[in-house]
Amino acid sequence: MPTLLSIQASPRGDYSVSRKLSDAFIHAWSEKHSGGTVITRDLHRTELPFVALPWIAGAYTPAEQHSPEMKEALAVSDELIAELQAADTILIGAPMYNFSVPAILKAWIDQVARIGKTFSASYEGLVKGKKVVVILSSGSVYTAGSPTESYNVESSYLRQVLGFMGMTEVEIVLAGGSGAVSMGKRTLEDLVAEFTPAVVAAAQ
């Protein structure tokens, strides 16, 4: 049966646009794939260390030669990569911070982008045959044709780094306009309802 990996990067909980839209995606996906498995990776409930020297040394050293320190440094990476490889569909729900990815999502990317595991020494992506849907919430609107379109570095970066690992089927739903919710000019429910049809369509 198919497996969906849901990666959530927003700290806002019940007040998060990306999390609420992710819930809508998961519901639609589960209806389409009856009996499928949903694995949720909440990055705010995961200890994500930054890449340090033991991690780098371990990544470039054969596993049979790993020191205890290398093994410990790569343990989280091993777990996250196994989740990624086991999934058929990957959902990433994330806000936009300063036009790019939150640090916590970058930390996840740094843990899973690993030579010999998700890309080869010749820079061939090794995580193939996956569908990735990214739900990006943002305070402003960055849709095509808008004056701020070029400010959206997050979408292009995610396409590039996911494609580098072999995930080239990437659909991005831009859920912009949450700034109006924060200023009390619009309700959270109204904003979520606006983008729910696009999210449900992406789950089909």
Residue 178: closest CA among 12, 6, 3: 12
Count of CB atoms situated within 10 Å of the CB of 85: 14
The predicted model gives 18-43 an average pLDDT of 97
- pLDDT, position 146: 84
Q: What confidence category does residue 145 fall into, taking pLDDT thresholds of 50, 70 and 90? A: confident
In 135-187, where does DSSP find H-type helix? 153-164, 178-182
108: phi then psi, degrees, rounded to nearest 5: -65, -45
* CA distances (Å), origin 153, targets 96, 111, 160: 9, 21, 11
- pLDDT, position 144: 83
CATH class of 3-202: alpha beta
Whole-structure pTM value:
0.96
- pLDDT, position 139: 95
Q: What confidence category does residue 143 fall into, taking pLDDT thresholds of 50, 70 and 90? A: confident
Domain boundaries, the chain: 3-202
What's the mean per-residue pLDDT of the chain?
Answer: 97
Q: Please tell me the least confidently modeled range out of 46-60, 116-130, 136-150.
A: 136-150
- pLDDT, position 54: 98
Count of CB atoms situated within 10 Å of the CB of 57: 15
Question: How many Å apart are CA 19 and CA 137, to the nearest integer?
Answer: 9
Structure tokens, 193: 């309802």
